[in-house]
Amino acid sequence: MAQQVRTWRIGYLMDRSGPVAFDEAFVQGLRENGYVVGQNVTIEYRWTEGQSARLPALANDLVSQRVDVIVTAGAASVKALKAATATIPIVMASSQDAVADGLVASLAHPGGNVTGRSVYGPELTPKRLELLKAALPGLSRVGILWNSQNPGGLNQFREAEAAGQSLGIHIVSLNTRFPDDLEPVMAQAARAGATAVLTLSDSSTITFRAEIAAAAQRHRLATMFSNAAYLAGGGLMSYGPDLVETFRLAAGHVDKILKGAKPADLPVEQPSRFEFVINMKAAEQLGLTIPPALLLQADKLID
């Protein structure tokens, strides 16, 4: 008699509108670890459709489905899931400062039922500002687009302020609720004399990446994002880890948990490589000439 193959059930909660390239990368990662959707694994997808207030209800819904593990990204989503369950393992496909946000006890020893991957590094914000300064000679003011509703937003903003001070750049706070505040805050940045905007990573910003880039473009503001996925919306530059790769590798945490590992004992992994990408079409639309030395630094140029 043939042995019956167990079908694992994965919950998948994302605070954005529908699937993007990250999500297919996660499924690819599952395949690389021997899991095929429809054969030995099923995925229960839940999207907030840009309405973060839905997170608690969606988290409770997934818990009620008695899934074996839940995959998510972003502090608000993790906190909603932690409030809904202390027993079902939660894998962060991407997170910012997971320790400061209260998601895990430490990266090496997470404790509790949460583990996964982090894309945070205190050196990243200063590097992004440095690259903006190199792209825009004479840069003196930068708007920081951030969301105070994001648990880790304030810490990231303070990092930007400190980095700006060391680089001689005045920081203009653009505390935003997406997407309604985008036009007014971009106008505010322009009035304040900013010539560029750095968007702090937030689960809602990927949903509204095109709106952010378009609003900035209308006010002739150069944009810097945390990873290349944002540039599909028309942003100018990005510096950070490859989020597609991050989601693919998160499947490894899921595999270990399904094979019996405890989230409390699985270290939160961090990226080892960062990429600098420039959108040449966006530069042309802004009338910018990127210095040749900066073009040589880029890992990738896209049109």
Q: pLDDT 10s digit of each residue in the chain, 303 long?
A: 455 678 999 999 999 888 888 999 999 999 999 999 999 999 999 999 878 899 999 999 999 999 999 999 988 899 999 999 999 999 999 998 899 889 999 999 999 999 999 998 888 999 999 999 999 989 999 999 998 777 677 888 898 999 999 999 999 999 988 778 899 999 999 999 999 999 988 777 877 889 999 999 999 999 999 999 889 889 999 999 999 999 999 999 999 999 999 999 999 999 888 999 999 999 999 999 999 999 999 999 998
The residues near 155 (Cβ < 8 Å, ≥ 6 apart) are: 97, 100
Q: What is the predicted pLDDT for the residue at 1?
A: 46
User: Element (H or E) spanning 60, and its range?
Assistant: helix 55-64
Q: What is the predicted pLDDT for the residue at 168?
A: 95
Q: What is the predicted pLDDT for the residue at 155?
A: 81
Burial of 165 (0-12, 13-18, 19+ CB in 10 A): exposed
The tokens describing 100, both together, are 């400061």
In 3D space, the residue among 64, 76, 119, 70 whose CA is nearest the CA of residue 91 turns out to be 70
Contact 90, 62 (CB under 8 A): no
Neighbour order of strands in the sheet with 196-199: 170-175, 141-146, 196-199, 222-225, 237-240, 275-279, 300-302
Q: What is the predicted pLDDT for the residue at 3?
A: 58
Given the structure tokens 């960062």, which residue do they identify?
A: 274
3-state secondary structure of 251: helix
The residues near 212 (Cβ < 8 Å, ≥ 6 apart) are: 145, 182, 199, 205, 223, 230, 233, 235
CB hemisphere CA count around 99 (13 angstroms): 13
User: How far is residue 110 CA from its own chain's centroid?
Assistant: 20
The phi-psi region of residue 43 (left if phi > 0; otherwise alpha if psi is between -120 and 50; otherwise beta) is beta
Q: What is the predicted pLDDT for the residue at 120?
A: 86
The residues near 196 (Cβ < 8 Å, ≥ 6 apart) are: 132, 136, 139, 142, 143, 221, 222, 223, 224
